[in-house]
Amino acid sequence: MQAAVDFQALYRRLAEAEARLSRPLDAAAREALLQRRALEVGRQAKAQPLDTLSVLGFTLGQERYAVRMQEVEQVLSSRQLWPLAGAPRHVLGAAMVHARIVPVLDLRQLLGRAGGSASDLTTLLAVTVNGEHVALAVEEMQGQFELPRASLGPPPSGPYLHVDAERRAVLDLERLVQQASGNG
C-alpha cells in the first residue's frame, strides 16, 4: 500500500525553493557560486579518460570556440574587468584572479572578428599558458564538453588546435598569448 502524499507540504516546499531561486545573488555570493562551479568543472576534467579532449566552450558572436580544461584557472563575471587607459586594442583591461592582476584579452581583436560592444562580453575565462596568466573576455559560456579525439579535425589557419564535428574551434592559447605579446 502506498503512503498518502501531503500535497500541501509539497507545494509549500516548492514555493520556498522557488523563492530562494528567484532571489538575486549579491556580488560575493555570485562570485562564490562561480568559483564552486569552476572547481567542480576542474575536478570532472581530471577524471576524464585519455581518448577525449575536455574543453570549456563559449561563443563570440555566432562563432563557437573552446579552450582545453587543463588551461582554465577560473571563470569570472565581466564585472571584474577594470579598464586600462592606453592599453593596446586587444587588451580590454585587467582583472584580479587569485590575488594576481592579469590582463584581459579581447579575443574578437586577436581573432580578427567583427565585434559588438564591450557590454556583450559577459564572462572572463582566466587561463594559464606556460606559466603566464591572462583572462579572455567571451560572450556566452556553453559549458564543458568531452570531445572524442578521433572526431577532431585539422585546424584552420590561425591560432587553433582542432575543430570538432560541430564546428567548434579549440583555441591554441600558446599562439594567442604570443600574438598578444607581439611575439607571434
**pLDDT tens digits for range 4-51:** 778 888 889 888 888 877 888 788 888 888 888 888 887 776 665 569
pLDDT at residue number 77: 86
The reply to whether 113 falls in a domain is: yes
Q: What value does the mean pLDDT of the chain take?
A: 86
The reply to whether 33 falls in a domain is: yes
Domain count, the chain: 1
Residue 136's pLDDT band, with cuts at 50, 70 and 90, is very high
pLDDT at residue number 146: 93
What average pLDDT does range 126-131 have in this prediction? 92
What average pLDDT does range 115-125 have in this prediction? 77
Asked whether residue 131 carries a pLDDT value surpassing 60, the answer given is yes
What average pLDDT does range 71-85 have in this prediction? 88
The reply to whether 3 falls in a domain is: no
Please report, for the domain that includes residue 153, its CATH number.
2.40.50.180
**pLDDT tens digits for range 92-101:** 989 888 888 9
* Selected residue with higher pLDDT from 9 and 146: 146
The reply to whether 8 falls in a domain is: no
* 76 vs 133: CA distance, rounded Å: 14
The reply to whether 105 falls in a domain is: yes
What average pLDDT does range 146-152 have in this prediction? 91
Is 160 in contact with 176 (CB distance < 8 Å)?
no
What average pLDDT does range 94-117 have in this prediction? 85
Domain range for 148 is: 25-181
Could you tell me the maximum CA-CA distance found in the chain, to the nearest angstrom?
Answer: 75
pLDDT at residue number 42: 76
CB atoms inside a 10 Å sphere around CB 134: 24
The reply to whether 11 falls in a domain is: no
The reply to whether 29 falls in a domain is: yes
The reply to whether 173 falls in a domain is: yes
DSSP 20-37: HHHSPPPHHHHHHHHHHH
Residue 75's pLDDT band, with cuts at 50, 70 and 90, is very high
What average pLDDT does range 122-129 have in this prediction? 91
